[in-house]
Amino acid sequence: VHRNLIELLSNNNTELEFKKQVEASLTEHLYVELEYYLKNKDWELADRQTSQLMFNIVKSEEQGYLDYSNINRLSCPGLQKIDKLWFNTDNRFGFRVQKEIWINTENRLGIKPGDWTDKDNENYLRFAKTVGWYDEEAIGDSQAGDSRGSWVSYNKRTKLIKDNPVDYRGSLPTLVWWWLGDKRWVREEDGRKGRVYSFLALRLINCNL
C-alpha cells in the first residue's frame, strides 16, 4: 500500500509533503517488521528485512542493491537504529560487532575500486572466517585449485546459527545483495563483497558505530 501510494504521489508535484510522510511511514513500518523478526529470532527474514531497510534509506528499492556510490547516503540514525535492534536482540550480531572484527582482522577502510590487492583479499578472508562466512576446514573447489576452504552457503549458515546460540559472532546481518558497479551481482557469500564492505565499515566509523 505504501509503495503504490508513493508511486502515485511521485507524479503529483503538489503532494510532495504528503509523499514524504508516506515514505517516512513506510520506513517506520520496515523497522517494526525487523524488530518483530528479531524478537522471534527469525534470522533469515530479519537479515533480508535489513537489506530492504537499507535499500529504502538510500532510495534504491527499485534497484535492489548497495554500491560504492550510495553507501554514504546511508543515514547515521538509520544505521544506528538497525544496529541497535540487532545488538539488543543478540549481542553477537550487529554492525558494531562486524566493524570491530573488520578492524581487528586488519582490513582497510574505504578501498576504492581498482585498489583492492591480494593482501586485502587475504584480510577479507580472515574476516569471513572469523564471522563464519567461510569454512577453512571444508573441502575446497578443486577446479579453482583450492584443496581446502569454501564459502558457507546462506541457508547452511542460518541453520548453523539457529543450532548454535553462542557461536557465529558477527555473522549477521549479512546483507543479501551487493553491486560492484561493473554489472556484476555479488552474492553475500562471494569474497568480492569485501570490496564494498570496506566502504560500509568506513561509514560505520563515521557514524560512531
* Residue 61 or 102, more confident: 102
> How many distinct structural domains can be found in the chain?
1
Question: pTM to 2 decimals?
Answer: 0.81
* pLDDT the model gives residue 192: 61
Span 68-107, pLDDT tens digits: 778 889 999 999 999 999 999 999 999 999 999 999 999 9
Give the Å distances, CA to CA, from 159 to 129, 154, 162, 171: 17, 9, 5, 12
Query: Residue 150's beta-bridge partner residues?
Result: 135
What percent of the chain has pLDDT above 70? 76
Which domain covers residue 112, as residue numbers? 2-206
Provide the residue count of the chain: 209
Mean pLDDT of 168-180: 74
Could you give the residue ranges of the DSSP H alpha helices within 40-137?
43-57, 76-89, 95-104, 118-131
Read off the amino acid at residue 5: L
Residue-wise pLDDT for 119-141, tens only, equals 998 999 999 999 999 998 876 55
**Residue 29: per-residue pLDDT:** 87
Distance CA 122, CA 116 (A): 11
Residue 207: its H or E element: none
For residues 149 and 96, what is the distance between their CA atoms, to the nearest angstrom? 27
So what's the pLDDT on residue 21?
A: 67
